[in-house]
Structure 1
């Protein structure tokens, strides 16, 4: 589990009226071929597609955990008409009222979507702006087709005929229940408890459960943590205590997974650090996900024991493992890592180091930090936590 910090991005529509639920059923799709190959770029543990609207290309996140969304900039450019307003909640349980509208046409390679219901949102919030996202191709739009995804090969295919993807060749079958905006929710049996997980391609992490679902007595091993380990559409949540733990068994559909590593947080999710080891098919007609393993990477937690955010372009410690005598605290300002100056960055510089972390691929790092006006030097070595037999 290389990805503890950050987890990006969950947007879930809530408080939907009857009108809102009907809204997410709108639209239709036309394909030119029985199977359409769709451009996919898997980067920074997230899947992106290029879409065409009114002859202009835009960068959209391919996100099963959200409805289809367009940015306020795109909404303004197109001069679209507001249909209604409704509450939208992000992964940190922050809510805002947003405009809902109808997008007349969106072309994704040779797939033409017409009259799709979309939410209008501002993507300039916090670090999310670094991804330069113009919108989200969400679950309500995906549900009109069958999809086959393979992150390892940047492969995404769409069809109106499930048989084209030979689902009988996939040994893992996971039923799901769709939310009103069509987001798939799968059930797992964890530590003897039934837990609903959002099947979320907009979540860059592996597995997360809500804090109140954690049972310390049933975890094989655990690490206590503190801080903020994810960011949503409206920014990060408040620092809070939590755990990262290894579990003996976790079931999904007809398959049992052993020795998985799970973090606690504001929501229960399964994401891309898990999905990347599989080819998977999304089937909203039968409400099933078909999966076939393509590589076997055991869940592993290696970390320097902290994570940081760029707050107003300043790198700030936001997440720490609660180890005895650990030298960093939430709120510490990072001046440099390995003599690379991170102080006084502009927005572009902060985005560069947010997406291209200085510590990536390193086994040891030297930090210069500032706390209460005083500068300190700290050396950290990467360690494996929750190792089997350790």
Structure 2
């Protein structure tokens, strides 16, 4: 679910986990009939990380409305739990694994304790999400399905309550929230405008970096209606999901003149298509306002900081990804670069900084080495071992700049 690396469009996806068979996620309840709690969160490269207590021990969890509850197998070794079944799970890149579904006796966020809530168990090793962000699990939408969640990004606080009267909300900032599937995934409607206009129902995904990701299936409809402007297309991969890197495929880099959420207009939105079944609004929305997901009354609120938001941005001619724990070329968007580099070529140096001996987590959680630079000198080793020197310049793309 994540646009996360450097200044280049790199996506680490940990989005909706989809179940190939019936699952049982609507379990558990709070120990309090009425509750209100404020939780300070840590922002690690646009990932929301909160403290969670299980059996009196504190853990670090991602807060991800695009996923269900998930815990590491290490947590289970120290608690009593009940296993109910095994499920086939698909990540955002359509990669599948079987995962156990368990019931957790108690789990506490702030001063609110949840009893007998369902969670998937991750048994894998060397996982970029768990290892690099140093988390032990995920708090997902199934835990939140009977709560009201407000995220105040300026204060970095999450409010969790079941009483809407304890929040200051304006009806004119609200729209319909739909809870989809056993996971109770939160979906909202947005409006898109180009030469023509249309609506899209999509996932509100706090675990996804970036502002807006467009599924390739939905792209085809929007392109036919001349709502989106194609900047370029490329073959490659840049999405890293829960179960690994996405397979190589053809994707599109796009500009959308207007994207409207709850009557708030966002201009010149740049995005890239992906192979997930769902389009999504990601955590970058928190850069523009505070959000409230009222799972109880099925409403979504957006309280923007500014009334005008132009998201147009300068772009580099390729996007990176991670292959075999190395920083590599993901997509080559600029035609003039396509005869020099391709997907999988290793990025070995940027502006004199050697990348060959960097830890893979450095690419994900440490400050960007790209920063706001408009020009980069990059050394790339292609598949024949040849070193290619290229100069990258940030440029505006598309007709409506």
TM-score for the superposition, normalised by structure 1: 0.89
Query: Contact between 2:238 and 2:322, CA under 8 Å: does it hold in 1?
Result: no
User: Are 1:25 and 2:26 counterparts?
Assistant: yes
Whole-angstrom distance in 2 between the partners of 1:319 and 1:213: 20
| Structure 1 residues 299 and 172: CA distance shift in structure 2, 3 A | farther
1:236 to 245, 263, 269: 245
Whole-angstrom distance in 1 between the partners of 2:285 and 2:301: 14
SS state of the match for residue 152, structure 1?
Answer: coil
SS state of the match for residue 383, structure 1?
Answer: coil
| Partner in structure 2 of residue 271 of structure 1 | 282
Whole-angstrom distance in 1 between the partners of 2:332 and 2:31: 49
| Structure 1 residues 108 and 387: CA distance shift in structure 2, 3 A | farther
SS state of the match for residue 9, structure 1?
Answer: coil
| Partner in structure 2 of residue 103 of structure 1 | 104
Whole-angstrom distance in 2 between the partners of 1:80 and 1:35: 27
User: Are 1:173 and 2:184 counterparts?
Assistant: no
Deviations 1:336-386 (A, max 9, x none): 2222222144xxx22123323322332222222211111222222222333
Q: Aligned Cα RMSD in Å?
A: 2.5
| Partner in structure 2 of residue 379 of structure 1 | 391
Deviations 1:211-236 (A, max 9, x none): 12224451245232332232211112
| Partner in structure 1 of residue 344 of structure 2 | 331
Whole-angstrom distance in 1 between the partners of 2:144 and 2:176: 18
Query: Contact between 2:237 and 2:247, CA under 8 Å: does it hold in 1?
Result: yes
Q: Could you list the structure 1 runs, at least 4 aligned residues long, displaced by more than 6 angstroms after superposition.
A: none
| Partner in structure 2 of residue 353 of structure 1 | 363
1:292 to 303, 311, 315: 303
Query: Contact between 2:35 and 2:112, CA under 8 Å: does it hold in 1?
Result: no
Query: Contact between 1:11 and 1:88, CA under 8 Å: does it hold in 2?
Result: no
User: Are 1:363 and 2:374 counterparts?
Assistant: yes
SS state of the match for residue 78, structure 2?
Answer: helix
1:12 to 11, 17, 33: 17
| Structure 1 residues 306 and 75: CA distance shift in structure 2, 3 A | farther
| Partner in structure 2 of residue 54 of structure 1 | 55
| Partner in structure 2 of residue 245 of structure 1 | 254
User: Are 1:321 and 2:323 counterparts?
Assistant: no
Whole-angstrom distance in 2 between the partners of 1:279 and 1:35: 18
Whole-angstrom distance in 2 between the partners of 1:174 and 1:277: 20
TM-score for the superposition, normalised by structure 2: 0.87
Identify which range, 90-99 or 358-367, moves more after superposition.
358-367
User: Are 1:342 and 2:338 counterparts?
Assistant: no
Unaligned runs of 5+ in 1: none
| Partner in structure 2 of residue 161 of structure 1 | 163
| Structure 1 residues 33 and 181: CA distance shift in structure 2, 3 A | closer
| Structure 1 residues 255 and 310: CA distance shift in structure 2, 3 A | closer
Query: Contact between 1:179 and 1:185, CA under 8 Å: does it hold in 2?
Result: no
| Structure 1 residues 222 and 298: CA distance shift in structure 2, 3 A | same
| Partner in structure 2 of residue 307 of structure 1 | 319
| Structure 1 residues 387 and 350: CA distance shift in structure 2, 3 A | farther
**Pairs aligned (count):** 382
Whole-angstrom distance in 2 between the partners of 1:166 and 1:285: 16
Identify which range, 62-71 or 121-130, moves more after superposition.
121-130
In the TM superposition, what is the alpha-carbon distance from 1:131 to its structure 2 partner? Answer: 1.2
| Structure 1 residues 130 and 360: CA distance shift in structure 2, 3 A | same
User: Are 1:208 and 2:213 counterparts?
Assistant: yes
In the TM superposition, what is the alpha-carbon distance from 1:24 to its structure 2 partner? Answer: 1.5
| Structure 1 residues 377 and 256: CA distance shift in structure 2, 3 A | closer
